[in-house]
Structure 1
Amino acid sequence: MAPGGYVWWYVDALSDDGRQGITLIAFLGSVFSPYYAWARRRGSAADPLRFCALNVSIYGTRSRWSMTEHSQVLRDSDMLAIGRSLIQWQDDQLIFEVDEFATPLPRRIRGQIRVHPAALTGHTVGLDAAGLHRWRPIAPRAWVEVSLEQPALRWSGVGYLDSNDGDGPLEDSFARWDWARAPLTDSTGIVYDVTDRHGADRALALSVGRDGAVAEQALPPRVALPHTRWRLPRFTRAESASLTRTVQDSPFYARSVVQTHLFGESSQAMHESLDLDRFSAPWTQAMLPFRIPRALS
């Protein structure tokens, strides 16, 4: 990774009954780290491996959120250890052994999440004209098993795995983006909208079959969703869509469950909106350390 760059691996899943959900994001060069942003502003060649975190978000009856940042990681071709948590490929599964403390209340998050991809795509999409930022829908359809000791949760459901990487800060290239993934009968539908720093929009719509085959789709119309409690605008691409619930609400980022009609099918989609102007604002940067503590070693 280049100085100031990043890579992350993202997993989300909803339980079969729709009542529980989880998101896991492993960051090397955490794009939302206030400490990484401060290091870059000092003009030094900030090393991304000194700003790493595993973000865990649990939604439903026992919601918890954690994102402790670490200055050291252990890694090889199929293993990544961040703090007390371990992520590794084992056979055909991606396994998260999670051991974190939630914020703002320091409650434990401990247990295992297993991700069983239906197929791997090998597909890469450039998100900006300069070619600095890339997105990989690694396994848009997966079966996810959640087995947590703290909080006591056990469920399974359809999930998703992707990765993003880049050679510089997100906020230098983008003003905002909206993204959604929806499990369909024989595929997963994905819609992505980005607005760059010059005000140019780029949108894409893909369907990925259970065998990993990727096909571009005609771009659905843009559908506005209600603003968040922080007045963050959000929209998606679909024939129609309505907000089911907001599961994460911050000044610059929101994750939501959306009932959508996409590529001719109804589905419950996971959706996110990100405003990088708000992320860069001094008042947001001042708040972030209270949500993203940094480990002493």
Structure 2
Amino acid sequence: MIGFIGSVFSPWYKWSGRKSPQNHVCINVATYGPGGRFTMTDRGRSALRQTASRLEVGPSSMRWDGERLVIDIDEVSSPPLINRICGQITVTPSAISGVELPLSPDDAHIWRPFAPVSRIAVDIDRPGWQWTGEGYFDANFGTRALEEDFSYWTWGRFGTSRGATCFYDATRLDGSELAAGYAFDPDGIATPLPLPPKTPLRRSLWAVARETRSDPGFTPHQTLSMLDAPFYSRSAVRTKLDGDIVTGVHEALDLRRFRNPLLKPMLALRVPRRGKWCFS
């Protein structure tokens, strides 16, 4: 799940000229497997309330209680499977990292992996939608649209026996590239990694090109498709790092496709706009 102030993938935010991020806020929830749902409602300024430790977007909220992130969700999924998704998610970091990675030379885009090693507990009001396991908590900040500065990027987070490893690779519009890798231990200490080579993955269902990092000689592969869109893929991927076979979450984003104006009306069907909200 993702909380947005300035919903970067919302066509409504794009059509508004992106002048007021507080008028395009969202808490996006995606569940996978049988009965999986996707919610991404673009809400107006009246639905936003913020403090230093709390973010409220309409009926859903995130709050930091000093030791963990508590997320209460009450959302309605997008067509064609329209249902209400309610429940609570808690993310408990083993530690908070100090990494802050500029993605562009002028710091217009920043990646902040707050808690790459965490535990998560999920309790959603449907049979079988309760579980605990590995969690992850990060944030991206930006002052320009992604497609103004990037043509393509991939990101991956892989749990390891020593904590977690994250890779961030991006191609900027000017042709320059970002290539970063960090190993995080349970104390939040981050160690920059010598990068294993990029290795192609099979294209996604929508033929989005994909690649990840892997030890030489190993062929990474998808183990679970999570989210497919014409410009974006999220999946579970198995790869080999420093001699260990690991599975993690992988994302690929094709911003050349995202710039296509024909995509925006299609997105509007999956991202409804609800401009008005009243807190009771």
- Specify the TM-score bucket, using the shorter chain as the normaliser: over 0.9
Matched, 1:34 2:7: no
Please name the residue that 1:269 is paired with. Answer: 248
| In 2, Cα distance between equivalents of 1:296 and 1:121 | 36
Please name the residue that 2:169 is paired with. Answer: 193
| In 2, Cα distance between equivalents of 1:83 and 1:164 | 21
Please name the residue that 1:177 is paired with. Answer: 153
Offset at residue 151 of structure 1 (A): 6.3
In 2, are the aligned partners of 1:108 and 1:151 still within 8 Å (CA)?
no
TM-score relative to the length of structure 2:
0.94
1:17-42 deviations in Å (ceiling 9; x for gaps): xxxxxxx10000111011111122xx
Matched letter for residue 259 of structure 2: S
| In 1, Cα distance between equivalents of 2:6 and 2:273 | 13
Percent identical among aligned pairs is 36
Offset at residue 171 of structure 1 (A): 0.6
In 1, are the aligned partners of 2:202 and 2:210 still within 8 Å (CA)?
yes
Offset at residue 272 of structure 1 (A): 0.2
| In 2, Cα distance between equivalents of 1:152 and 1:245 | 18
Q: Which moved more, 1:261-270 or 1:108-117?
A: 261-270
Matching residue within 162, 165, 184 for 1:208: 184
| In 2, Cα distance between equivalents of 1:70 and 1:150 | 25
1:34-57 deviations in Å (ceiling 9; x for gaps): 1111122xxxx7111001101101
Please name the residue that 1:89 is paired with. Answer: 64
| In 2, Cα distance between equivalents of 1:62 and 1:157 | 20
1:144-201 deviations in Å (ceiling 9; x for gaps): 0000114651111101110100111111011110010001011211111000011221
In 2, are the aligned partners of 1:189 and 1:205 still within 8 Å (CA)?
yes
| In 1, Cα distance between equivalents of 2:127 and 2:105 | 43
Please name the residue that 1:230 is paired with. Answer: 206
Give RMSD over aligned pairs.
Answer: 1.2
Q: Secondary structure at the match of 1:59?
A: coil
Matched letter for residue 246 of structure 1: S
| In 2, Cα distance between equivalents of 1:62 and 1:261 | 31
Please name the residue that 2:134 is paired with. Answer: 158
Matched letter for residue 54 of structure 1: I
Where do 1:1-297 residues align within 5 Å?
Answer: 24-40=1-17, 46-72=19-45, 73-104=48-79, 105-150=81-126, 153-239=129-215, 240=218, 241-297=220-276
In 2, are the aligned partners of 1:110 and 1:151 still within 8 Å (CA)?
no
Identify unmatched segments of 5+ residues in structure 1.
1-23
| In 2, Cα distance between equivalents of 1:67 and 1:246 | 19
Matched letter for residue 9 of structure 2: F
In 2, are the aligned partners of 1:192 and 1:203 still within 8 Å (CA)?
yes
In 1, are the aligned partners of 2:116 and 2:138 still within 8 Å (CA)?
yes
| In 2, Cα distance between equivalents of 1:39 and 1:193 | 30
Runs of 4+ in structure 1 over 4 Å off = none
Offset at residue 282 of structure 1 (A): 1.4
1:194-253 deviations in Å (ceiling 9; x for gaps): 000112211111101110001001011111000112111010011132111221100001
CA spacing shift, 1:57–1:151, aligned 2, 3 Å? farther
Identify unmatched segments of 5+ residues in structure 2.
none
Matched positions, count: 270
Q: Secondary structure at the match of 2:13?
A: helix
